Structure 1
Amino acid sequence: MIRLAIVDDHAIVRAGFREMLNDEMGLTIQFEASTGEEAQSLLREHPCDVLMLDLSLPDQNGIDVLRAVRQRYESTQVLIISSFSEERYALSMIRNGASGYLCKDCDQADLINAIHTVAQGRRYVSSTTADLLAREMAGESQKLPHEQLSDREMQVFMRLVKGESVSVIAQDLHLSVKTVSTYRSRLLEKLGVASNAELTTYAHQQGLLLS
């Protein structure tokens, strides 16, 4: 029996996924959560095999939650379910530890296939993501600047564009202010911008703002 969790801040979305999965044999929904903090708290009491995770949450972005789950719950596979297209985030999320990436408008069959695939410890790669990977490996597509960011750089980037200060980021990520400042400097250099405002403009232009 695959133990499943659904993490999304919209009750109607969770209900839609629940309806899609209710009649599927071999699946049981362990819990639902509307925030990243709630999901991590419930995971401590209710271990699950697959965590369906939205990228846009009210308290934490999905990138932070993904990192925390991969560090603390190694046996839990994270399947990103997002309203953002695969072109924007799929490769980055898979590189940073996600077991798969699907858009919220996916077919029921694709969702069930993805859950079973990642529950077996394998990566789920849709035809769209597979094409992106193939073009990248063949040198037919050039990485955008943000696609070259490390896991931690992406975390800091997504928090800066939300307007969080370096000190707040340092506290939340349990890092020193100096370390976060270093990550910020690297971001500015890699993305070719000179300020937090320009970072936000870049995120907006690339369709990366999670909320």
Structure 2
Amino acid sequence: MSTPMMWRLPVMAAVAGMLLPTAASAHPHVFAEARLEIDTSADGRVTELRNVWRFDEVFSSSVILDFDENADLKLDATELANISDMVTQSLAEFDYYINITVNGEDAEISLTEPIKVDYQDGQLLMFFAVVPKKEIPLNGKIAVGVFDPTMYAALDFINDEDMMVTGSSATHCARNVVRPDPDEVIAQNQASLTEAFFETTESSDLSKLFATRLELDCK
């Protein structure tokens, strides 16, 4: 399967397999270790969300097959730029896999510049930052999740320290990394997992239930 299609696959069948105990278990096909830094200003605002994704070797190797135009088994600057263009455009419709809520309401974001791409030690890396479209003061409850709403790619924050708050107001809020238990999620939502639910609910609503998130409780 061509790599550029990774972010566009229909996955409702896979979602059903993951959520319904009687169905075969489904798994992501692409894995990446992720890091998130939420930067803050001296006057108590969220200013930027910085992201780093390091993809697994198998997927990274497939990227070389798809984008190594001169067949030298490496990714030169032009080839990396082509990957950058593709992922920057493809992920825009998914808000770059970033979900922010402020006191329960979704907050919009924008990309500051194209996603940077590199290839190091056999792994593809992506670096990028987004900013809130509207000011987000450090007040109340702020939650940030980074996940693929189609569930095709798994972004794994291995350590709690991989979801950090930085900047002048980093200590202004209590910080908690939430890692939902899949069995608990299924049990709590069993009544909703009906055929009608899958037909009328976007996959992002489902994937959000399982995503690791950083919660800030700001006074």
What is the TM-score when the length of structure 1 is the normalising length? Answer: 0.29
Higher strand share: 2
Higher helix share: 1
What is the TM-score when the length of structure 2 is the normalising length? Answer: 0.28
Relative contact order: is structure 1 or structure 2 higher (C-alpha 8 Å, sep ≥ 6)?
A: 2
